[in-house]
Structure 1
Amino acid sequence: MQFFSDNAAPVHPALLAAMEAANGVDTAYDGDALSQGLDARFSALFERDVAVIWTSTGTSANALALALLCPPYGGVLTHEEAHIVADECGAVELQTGGARLMTCRAAGGKLSAQGLRERMAQVRRDVHQVQPHAVSLTNATEYGRVYTPDELAAIGAFCREHGLALHMDGARFANAIASRDCAPADVTWRAGVDALSFGFTKNGALNAEALVLFDPARADEARRRRKRAGHLLSKGRFIAAQLHAMLEGELWLANARAANAAATILAQAAGERLLHPVEANELFLRLSADEAARLRAQGFAFYDWGAGAARLVTSWHQGEAEVAPLAAALSAL
Structure 2
Amino acid sequence: MRFFSDNAAPACPAVMDALVAANRLDTAYDGDAWSQRMDAAFSDLFETQVTAIWVGTGTAANCLALAALCPPTGGILAHRYSHIEMDEAGAPGFYTHGAKIMLLDGDGAKIAPDAIDAAVGLVRKDVHQVQPAALSVTNATEYGLAYTPAEMAALGERAKAHDLGFHVDGARFANAVVSTGASPAELTWKAGVDALSFGFIKNGGMNAEALILFDKIHADNIRRMKKRAGHLSSKGRFAAAQILAMLENDVWLDNARAANAAATTLAEACGKERLVYPVEANELFVKMTADEAAAIRATGFDFYDWAPGEVRLVTSWDQDMDAVDKLAEAIRSL
State the TM-score bracket (shorter-chain normalisation).
over 0.9
C-alpha contact (below 8 Å) 1:77/1:104 kept by paired residues = yes
In 1, the alpha carbon distance for the partners of 2:152 and 2:125 equals: 26
In 2, the alpha carbon distance for the partners of 1:80 and 1:59 equals: 16
C-alpha contact (below 8 Å) 1:258/1:319 kept by paired residues = no
Name the structure 2 match of 1:283.
284
- Residue 67 (str. 1) matches residue 67 (str. 2): yes
**Structure 2 letter corresponding to 1:285:** V
Q: What does 1:66-145 correspond to in 2, within 5 Å?
A: 66-145=66-145
C-alpha contact (below 8 Å) 1:3/1:314 kept by paired residues = yes
- Residue 321 (str. 1) matches residue 322 (str. 2): yes
Please state how far the C-alpha of 1:14 moved relative to its aligned partner. Answer: 1.0
Name the structure 2 match of 1:43.
43
1:162-221 CA-to-partner distances (Å, cap 9, x unmatched) read 111100000000000000111100010000000000000000000110000001232111
Name the structure 2 match of 1:241.
241
Please state how far the C-alpha of 1:61 moved relative to its aligned partner. Answer: 0.3
C-alpha contact (below 8 Å) 1:174/1:252 kept by paired residues = yes
C-alpha contact (below 8 Å) 2:148/2:182 kept by paired residues = no
Unpaired stretches in structure 2, ≥5 consecutive residues: none
- Residue 311 (str. 1) matches residue 332 (str. 2): no
**Structure 2 letter corresponding to 1:110:** K
In 2, the alpha carbon distance for the partners of 1:320 and 1:302 equals: 16
Secondary structure of the residue aligned to 1:147 is coil
1:265-300 CA-to-partner distances (Å, cap 9, x unmatched) read 000001111000000000000110000100110111
Please state how far the C-alpha of 1:121 moved relative to its aligned partner. Answer: 1.4
Secondary structure of the residue aligned to 1:285 is strand
**Structure 2 letter corresponding to 1:3:** F
Secondary structure of the residue aligned to 2:185 is helix
Name the structure 2 match of 1:213.
213
Please state how far the C-alpha of 1:322 moved relative to its aligned partner. Answer: 3.2
Unpaired stretches in structure 1, ≥5 consecutive residues: none
TM-score by length of 1: 0.99
In 2, the alpha carbon distance for the partners of 1:62 and 1:148 equals: 21
1:68-109 CA-to-partner distances (Å, cap 9, x unmatched) read 000000000000010000000011100001000000011000
In 1, the alpha carbon distance for the partners of 2:91 and 2:212 equals: 19
**Structure 1 letter corresponding to 2:242:** Q
1:85-140 CA-to-partner distances (Å, cap 9, x unmatched) read 00000111000010000000110000011111111111122211100000000000
Name the structure 2 match of 1:274.
275
In 1, the alpha carbon distance for the partners of 2:329 and 2:144 equals: 22
- Residue 168 (str. 1) matches residue 168 (str. 2): yes
Name the structure 2 match of 1:27.
27
Name the structure 2 match of 1:147.
147
**Structure 1 letter corresponding to 2:113:** A
C-alpha contact (below 8 Å) 1:265/1:320 kept by paired residues = no
Name the structure 2 match of 1:202.
202
In 2, the alpha carbon distance for the partners of 1:111 and 1:319 equals: 34
In 1, the alpha carbon distance for the partners of 2:189 and 2:94 equals: 27
C-alpha contact (below 8 Å) 1:173/1:198 kept by paired residues = yes
In 2, the alpha carbon distance for the partners of 1:135 and 1:216 equals: 18
Secondary structure of the residue aligned to 2:186 is helix
Please state how far the C-alpha of 1:263 moved relative to its aligned partner. Answer: 0.2
Name the structure 2 match of 1:297.
298
In 1, the alpha carbon distance for the partners of 2:145 and 2:81 equals: 13
**Structure 1 letter corresponding to 2:330:** A
Aligned length: 333
In 2, the alpha carbon distance for the partners of 1:30 and 1:137 equals: 28
In 2, the alpha carbon distance for the partners of 1:92 and 1:270 equals: 36
Identity %: 60
Please state how far the C-alpha of 1:319 moved relative to its aligned partner. Answer: 4.8
Please state how far the C-alpha of 1:2 moved relative to its aligned partner. Answer: 0.4
